[in-house]
Amino acid sequence: MPERGNRPRAKKAPEPPAPASAMSIHAHPDDQEFTVGGTLAKWARAGCRIVTVCITSGEGGSNDSTPAEMTRDRLLPLREQEQRAACRVLGVEEVVFLGYPDGVLEPTIALRRDLTRLIRRHRPAAVLCGDPSVRFYGSTYINHPDHRAAAQVALDAVFPSAETRFIFPELLDEGLAPHKVAAVFLHGSEKADTFVDIAEVLDVKLAALREHRSQMGDWDPTEMIKQWAAEQGRPRKLAAAEAYRRMRLHD
C-alpha cells in the first residue's frame, strides 16, 4: 500500500468549456439571476444558445417594498417583463413561462411532461437547475418548496423522460424525438465539484439582477452577490465563482 504522502493529489477538474446550448430551469423570475446569472452571461458571450424556463411567473412574490395596492394579477406581467429584461442583459435568447401558480408548485407528472417537451424541442447540451435535496441553507433560510419542486422535476425530465422514447409517447406524436442532455449543473448544492469563474461577468450578473425592480426595491444586492461569489470561489481560490454539482450523463 503506497504511503499517503506519496499519493498524487486528486486532480482538480478544470472549468468546463461553455456548452453549445443550455436550458436554465427555475421556479420564479429572479431565481436564475441570483444563482446562475454569471455562468449564463459568460456562456452567452462564448456563443452558447440559452433558453430560460420560468415555471411560474412569480406573481406570489412580494416583500416589504411591494406597494400595498399591488395585486397578483398586476404583478404577473410585471415580473415576466422583468425576467425578459434580465435575460436580455445576460444574453439569453429565449424565455418560456409555463404559467404554473407561484407559491404552490408541486412536482407533478404534468410539469414533468411540460419540461420534457421543452428539452426535446430545444435539445440543450446542458441543463442548469437547483439541487432538490437541499432543504436548508445555513441556519437562516429554508429552501422554498417551489425551488425544490422545480429542481426535482427538472432532473426527472432530463432523466429518464427526455431521453426515453416511450415515456410520454404523446410527445412522439408531437414530433418530439428523445434527446440526451449531456450535462446537468446543479446550483446551490452542498456537494459542489465544478466552479465557473465569473469575475469578468459579475457586473453583468448584477445588472441582470437589478432588472427585477419589483423585488429589489431600494436594496442594492452588490455586496451580498459579491460575498456569495467569493464564498463559492474559495475552494478554487477564485475571486468570484458560481459553484455546481455537475452530472455528466453523456459524452
Dist. CA 60–CA 104, nearest whole Å? 9
For Zn ion, the closer CB: 34 or 244: 34
Could you tell me the three cell numbers for 28?
420564479
How far apart, in whole angstroms, are the C-alpha atoms of residue 178 and residue 169?
10
31-50 residues near Zn ion, rule: CB under 5 A:
31
| Smallest distance, Zn ion to C-beta of residue 11, A | 35
| Cβ nearer to Zn ion, comparing 18 with 27 | 27
- Residue pair 208/168 in contact (Cβ under 8 Å)? The answer is no
Minimum separation from the CB atom of position 84 to Zn ion (A): 17
Burial class (CB in 10 A: 0-12, 13-18, 19+), 18: buried
Residue nearest to Zn ion (CB): 28
Q: Report the residue number, 28 or 210, with the smaller CB distance to Zn ion.
A: 28
Q: Which is nearer to Zn ion, 34 or 195 (CB)?
A: 34
Total site size for Zn ion, rule CB under 5 A: 2
| 107 upstream amide cis, omega within 30 of 0 | no
Stretch that binds Zn ion, among 11-19, 26-34, 102-110, 176-184 (CB under 5 A): 26-34
Region near Zn ion per CB under 5 A, out of 28-36, 44-52, 190-198, 230-238: 28-36
Taking the least distance from each CB to Zn ion, the nearer of 28 and 246 is 28
Q: Which residues of 41-69 are buried (b: 16+ CB within 10 A; e: fewer)?
A: bbbbeeebbbbbbbbbbbbbbeeeeeeee
Taking residues 180 to 219 in sequence order and writing x for each that binds Zn ion by CB under 5 A, - otherwise, the string is ----------------------------------------
Choices 24-32, 69-77, 175-183, 241-249; region in contact with Zn ion by CB under 5 A: 24-32
Tell me, rounded to whole angstroms, the distance of Cα 143 from its chain centroid.
14
Strand order across the 183-187 sheet: 94-100, 49-56, 21-26, 126-129, 183-187, 241-248, 194-197
CB closer to Zn ion out of 28 and 117: 28
Interface pick for Zn ion out of 24, 25, 28, 210 (rule CB under 5 A): 28
d(CA 181, CA 197): 23
Is the separation of the CB atoms in 111 and 100 below 8 Å? yes
User: Which range binds Zn ion by CB under 5 A, 29-37, 42-50, 72-80, 92-100?
Assistant: 29-37
* In the complex, least distance from residue 220 CB atom to Zn ion, rounded to whole angstroms: 19
Q: Which stretch binds Zn ion (CB under 5 A): 21-29, 192-200, 209-217, 236-244?
A: 21-29
Are 126 and 183 a contacting pair, CB within 8 Å? yes
| Binding residues vs Zn ion (CB under 5 A) | 28, 31
